[in-house]
Amino acid sequence: MLEIQDFPHVIAALNAASVVALSFGYFFIRSGDKTRHRAAMVTALALSSVFLVFYVIYKANSGFAKFGGEGVIRPIYFTLLIIHVIGAITLVPLVPRLVFLAIKERFNDHRRIARWTWPLWMFVGISGVVVYVMTVHLYPYVPV
């Protein structure tokens, strides 16, 4: 049974898996394989959706993690975190719009928006894993 303290690890794994699925989706569409592209992107969307459920449950039960790093790493970490959060918020309307356009087979519009959304989604996924590694493994908060 998963305990709430295990959630950050699950969240990071889901983030990493979504990055892998997004990478495959990009590769497949560049190769002209629309069927596999669709499967990879549906997988990325499903993984991100499960991530969101775990994330909301975790934050509702434990709040935000404290960063234990000191010195020059603090502004680096918080800059990355702020950009990550802004990117994640930006994805909220973009990803459903992309899905809508794909379902409606409006592929020119889908492609136009995907050129901005895919790199942002990749950045948010990768930076989420980096934030996790920094907060949980490299610079955990240790109360004095």
Q: CA–CA separation, 14 vs 31, rounded Å?
A: 26
Q: Residues 78-82: what's their mean pLDDT?
A: 98
Q: What is the pTM of this model?
A: 0.95
Q: Please give the CATH topology (third level) of the domain spanning 4-138.
A: Four Helix Bundle (Hemerythrin (Met), subunit A) (1.20.120)
Alpha helices, DSSP H, located in the chain: 7-30, 34-62, 73-103, 107-132
Domain coordinates of the chain in residue numbers? 4-138
- For 20-68, how does the pLDDT look when each residue is reduced to its tens digit (9 = 90+)? 999 999 999 999 999 999 999 999 999 999 999 999 999 999 988 889 9
pLDDT at 7 over 90: yes
Asked whether the beta carbons of 65 and 136 are under 8 A apart, the reply is yes
pLDDT at 144: 80
pLDDT at 78: 98
Q: Residues 121-139: what's their mean pLDDT?
A: 98
pLDDT at 130: 98
